[in-house]
Amino acid sequence: MNYILKNVDVVDKNKTVKNTNLYIKNALIEKISDEVDENLQSYDCTGLTVMPSFVDLHAHFRDPGYTHKETIQTGSKAAVKGGYTLINLMANTKPIANDMQVVNYVLDKAKKIGLINIHQCVSVTNDFDGESLEHLDKIDTKKVKFISDDGKGIISNLTSYKSMLIAKEKNLTIMTHAEDKYLTPIDYRLSEDIITIRDLYLCHATGARLHLSHVSTIDSLEAIRLAKQHGTNVTCEVTPHHIALYDNEFKVNPPIRTQKDVYAVIEAIKDGTIDAISTDHAPHTAEEKKNGAPGLVGLETAFGVCYSNLVKPNHITLNKLSELISYNPYKIFDGMYEKRGLIKQGYVADLALVDINKTYTVDPNNFDSMGKNTPFKDKQLQGIVVATIKDGEFKYDNR
């Protein structure tokens, strides 16, 4: 499928080109040019901005085992509606993603649906038991890049240490859910900070590759900043809700923090301490949410939340936002998905068309996700995805 996106603003981490034309040929980006080839099909994109499509390093699609909350089909539809073409799924399914049987089930299903690329994490410990690591010997590292016990956290220092040695040997990245469940009822902030600091120390000692999920506190961010200055092989992410909200009772894990924490998150984004923004998309039924299940759905609101709270107030540029939600996440995948994350000749045409001037009110009833659990209900946002292109094909189009 060969065509031109006409009269479009082109933005990636490195450049902004106003009112130009983007040529797509055989699923690749051919060129940016002011000239128009009248022999090619064209789409008028006046007033729109094209960016590299987004990557979510941290999401839950609940399949297998919890398909009353979300399926790979509905999660994929929510993803493309939000501008995402690559999603990294956590291992807390049923059965837990301990082995390649579950991984292959998810990957095969995603391939048949054909909307997005999916990566499935494998658990660090077998069945999240906090100790057993033998199953990691059977991982196909051509298909699996990340291991994580997200939702639980690893309490044992020894298990964490051993898992990092295995991860280094197999060239895997450990994604840490920083929480000491024994401290959580006493001090949720201390619970996150102490595991963050421990895992940074173990990462430095072992030389493993560590990615810290949904960082939310001032002290954890400062520890990451110092670790990076000392050469520790660590990356980290924050969520849109920890950027936009404070002193809010909506239940998520980690919880919504204070205004000072939000300021610290924004400063850490600006100075490069934070590498990525990930949604932690976590669908629940209305009844489960009413009964206290932590989590929110975030794929369909992420761009609007980030644009409204980061770009519009001039904390960062749209180029920097592209770096956080596309270029850096692809880089964290460490070569698994090549030639993506920039709008550049020869790169894969995985793209998001956005209207950065449009304001809208969030209505969960319009979500394609089965989950409607969002703290942004009835909030006004600016910036919306109007189309998503994967491998040169429109997978979502609401222009």
- Over the chain, what is the mean pLDDT? 97
Transcribe 293-331 into DSSP letters. Answer: ---B--TTTHHHHHIIIIITTTSS-HHHHHIIIIIHHHH
* 302 in any annotated domain: yes
Would you call 268 exposed, middle or buried from its count of C-beta atoms within 10 A (0-12, 13-18, 19+)? Answer: buried
* 341 in any annotated domain: no
Please report the pLDDT score of residue 15 as a whole number. 97
Same domain? For 144 and 221 the reply is: yes
Which bin fits 378, alpha (ψ -120 to 50), beta or left (φ > 0)? left
Same domain? For 135 and 273 the reply is: yes
Catalytic residue among 9, 12, 56, 280: 280
* 339 in any annotated domain: no
- The residue among 384, 366, 390 whose CA lies nearest residue 47 is 384
Please state the domain count of the chain. 2
Same domain? For 278 and 351 the reply is: no
Give the C-alpha separation, 261 to 309, whole Å: 14
The string of pLDDT tens digits covering residues 308-338 is: 999 999 999 999 999 999 999 999 999 999 9
Please report the pLDDT score of residue 55 as a whole number. 98
Secondary structure element (H or E) that encloses residue 209, with its range: strand 209-212
Which bin fits 80, alpha (ψ -120 to 50), beta or left (φ > 0)? alpha
The string of pLDDT tens digits covering residues 85-118 is: 999 999 999 999 999 999 999 999 999 999 999 9
Same domain? For 305 and 171 the reply is: yes
The string of pLDDT tens digits covering residues 121-132 is: 999 999 999 999
Write phi, then psi, for 215 (nearest 5 degrees): -65, 140
Q: Can you give the CATH number for the domain in which 175 is found?
A: 3.20.20.140
Please report the pLDDT score of residue 1 as a whole number. 83
Is 199 part of the annotated catalytic residue set? no
Which bin fits 223, alpha (ψ -120 to 50), beta or left (φ > 0)? alpha
Beta bridge partners of 5: 22, 43
Dihedral over Cα of 225, 227, 231, 233: its sign:
negative
Distances (CA, A) of 11 to 8, 21, 339, 358: 10, 12, 16, 17
Same domain? For 46 and 161 the reply is: no
- Percent of the chain clearing pLDDT 90 (strictly above): 98
**pLDDT beneath 70: ranges in the chain:** none
Same domain? For 240 and 146 the reply is: yes
Same domain? For 225 and 110 the reply is: yes
Give the C-alpha separation, 79 to 83, whole Å: 6
CB 8 within 8 A of CB 24: no
Q: Can you give the CATH number for the domain in which 385 is found?
A: 2.30.40.10
pTM above 0.85, yes or no: yes
Same domain? For 207 and 108 the reply is: yes
Same domain? For 318 and 379 the reply is: no
The string of pLDDT tens digits covering residues 387-399 is: 999 999 999 999 9
Two tokens, residue 327:
């270029």
Owning domain of residue 45? 2-50+347-397
* 102 in any annotated domain: yes
Cβ atoms within 10 Å of 184's Cβ, excluding its own:
17
Distances (CA, A) of 26 to 152, 165, 390: 43, 42, 12
SS3 of 395, please?
Answer: strand
* 9 in any annotated domain: yes
Domain edge (last residue) among 308, 333, 358 = 333
Please report the pLDDT score of residue 272 as a whole number. 98
Domain edge (last residue) among 286, 303, 333 = 333
Same domain? For 254 and 316 the reply is: yes
Domain edge (last residue) among 299, 333, 367 = 333
Same domain? For 46 and 85 the reply is: no
Give the C-alpha separation, 50 to 312, whole Å: 17
First-to-last C-alpha distance (Å) of the chain: 19
Same domain? For 67 and 107 the reply is: yes
Would you call 99 exposed, middle or buried from its count of C-beta atoms within 10 A (0-12, 13-18, 19+)? Answer: middle
Distances (CA, A) of 8 to 20, 94, 291: 5, 44, 46
* 98 in any annotated domain: yes
Dihedral over Cα of 213, 176, 247, 267: its sign:
negative
